Chains A and B, each alone.
Chain A
Amino acid sequence: MSEATVAIADEDVLFGSALAVVLADAGYAVVTQATSCQEVHDDLARMPSLDLLLMSSTLPGDRAALARAAGDHALRLVVLSPLTEHAELVSALDHGAQGYLGKDARLSDLLGSVAAVLRGEAAVPRHMLGGLLHELVQQRRRATAPSGDSPLSRREQEVLELLAQGHAQEGIARALVISPQTARTHIQKVIGKLGVHSRVEAVAVAVERGLVAAS
């Protein structure tokens, strides 16, 4: 069986080199290591038969265009992020990534994700699954719902009300019997949908718009 060919694209040369060693140890052929989107484009022109691109979410250059180019080359894409934020995960998948992983992931999770993506499966961090599935349900509802509906899902509305009552992430998780990570995802989405930058601002705007009762 031929080994899968992998390109690494990370602006941090040391991190990229360490990744290359780990993947080579695991039996993959790491054929190139780039530090910018432009370098990857050049590599794609020289090596059109790459199997997988591991790309940093903060790689300098036009990452969206690079993700499209990867798709054009039937190259599987895994995005490595220092943040593991819900919005970034959704954006990565929207741009054609099959995998998304935090740079703080365990090596076993990295190798498991690479293998899964090469098998044609999706690979996302376990703790982000709940928020992602919720997002997919909401996207489908938005696609079929008449316009003018509330921008917040019922769950997000519950989160907003708990925020307004003064609950923090842990308290919201306890109240809704969900994981703190998923509670954090819902909070981020509420903040994003209300177009604000913080929880305090979200509550202020929600009270102003009558989305929650003033306490």
Chain B
Amino acid sequence: MTTVRIPRHAPGVVLRQEQTVTQLLAPGTGAVVSLDPLALALWEMCDGETTVQEMTTASCALFDAPHDTVERDITRVLAALEEQLLLEWVSAPGPPEASGPDTKADR
């Protein structure tokens, strides 16, 4: 059976906004990560339900950008957030249409 890995906020993360600056504060490490508007939009879609494939499709539709480029950029942003322990991944059964790069074998 295939599953889809879905990003969600790590517990305890705090979002701070002052003027045009948005930052995430990691509870354990004290790390502070600044988000640009697109990274913030991606962060807000990390709800434990929205797949990377869905984020990519929506972003492609909005920005009329190539799928591979958008997916690479999104993956990079999410990896950076995960590295700072701001993000974690959950597994869910993969829908038929989600047979994309974010579909992995159960591990």
Q: Is the CB of B58 within 8 A of A137?
A: yes
A1 at the interface (CB under 8 A from B): no
Interface size in chain A (residues, C-beta < 8 A): 26
A182 at the interface (CB under 8 A from B): yes
Q: How large is the interface on B (under 10, 10 to 19, 20 to 34, 35 or more residues)?
A: 20 to 34
Q: Is the CB of A137 within 8 A of B54?
A: yes
Dominant secondary structure at the B interface: helix
Q: Which B residues form the contact surface with A (CB < 8 A)?
A: 9, 13-15, 17, 22, 24, 37-38, 40-45, 47-50, 54-55, 57-59, 61-64, 97
A132 at the interface (CB under 8 A from B): yes
Q: Is the CB of A137 within 8 A of B45?
A: yes
Q: Is the CB of B15 within 8 A of A177?
A: yes
Chain A residue at minimal CB-CB distance from B13? A177
Q: Which A residues form the contact surface with B (CB < 8 A)?
A: 120-122, 124, 126-127, 129-130, 132-134, 136-137, 140-141, 144, 153-155, 173-174, 177-180, 182
Q: Say how far B13's CB is from chain A's closest CB, in angstroms.
A: 5
Q: Say how far A118's CB is from chain B's closest CB, in angstroms.
A: 14
A179-B22, A180-B17 as given contacts; A155 in contact with B47, CB under 8 Å: yes
Dominant secondary structure at the A interface: helix
Please measure, in the bound complex, the distance between the C-alpha atom of A181 and the C-alpha atom of B100, giving whole angstroms: 31
Q: Is the CB of A154 within 8 A of B40?
A: no
Please measure, in the bound complex, the distance between the C-alpha atom of A180 and the C-alpha atom of B22, giving whole angstroms: 11
Sample of 30 A–B contacts (CB below 8 Å)? A126-B37, A127-B37, A130-B40, A130-B43, A133-B41, A133-B42, A133-B45, A134-B44, A134-B50, A136-B58, A136-B61, A136-B62, A137-B45, A137-B55, A137-B57, A137-B58, A140-B54, A140-B58, A141-B54, A144-B97, A154-B47, A154-B48, A155-B49, A174-B14, A177-B14, A177-B24, A177-B43, A178-B44, A179-B15, A180-B17
A133 neighbours in B (Cβ, 8 Å): 41-42, 44-45, 55, 58-59, 62
B48 neighbours in A (Cβ, 8 Å): 154
A127 neighbours in B (Cβ, 8 Å): 37
A137-B58, A173-B15, A179-B22 as given contacts; A129 in contact with B41, CB under 8 Å: yes
B97 neighbours in A (Cβ, 8 Å): 144
B14 neighbours in A (Cβ, 8 Å): 174, 177
Q: Say how far B97's CB is from chain A's closest CB, in angstroms.
A: 7
Chain A residue at minimal CB-CB distance from B86? A177
Residue among B49, B50, B57 with max Cβ neighbours from chain A (10 Å): B50
Q: Say how far B106's CB is from chain A's closest CB, in angstroms.
A: 23
Chain A residue at minimal CB-CB distance from B95? A144
Of A121, A129, A174, A178, the residue contacting B37 (CB under 8 A) is A129
B47 neighbours in A (Cβ, 8 Å): 154-155
Chain A residue at minimal CB-CB distance from B35? A179
Please measure, in the bound complex, the distance between the C-alpha atom of A127 and the C-alpha atom of B50, giving whole angstroms: 20
Please measure, in the bound complex, the distance between the C-alpha atom of A173 and the C-alpha atom of B17, giving whole angstroms: 11
Q: Is the CB of B54 within 8 A of A179?
A: no
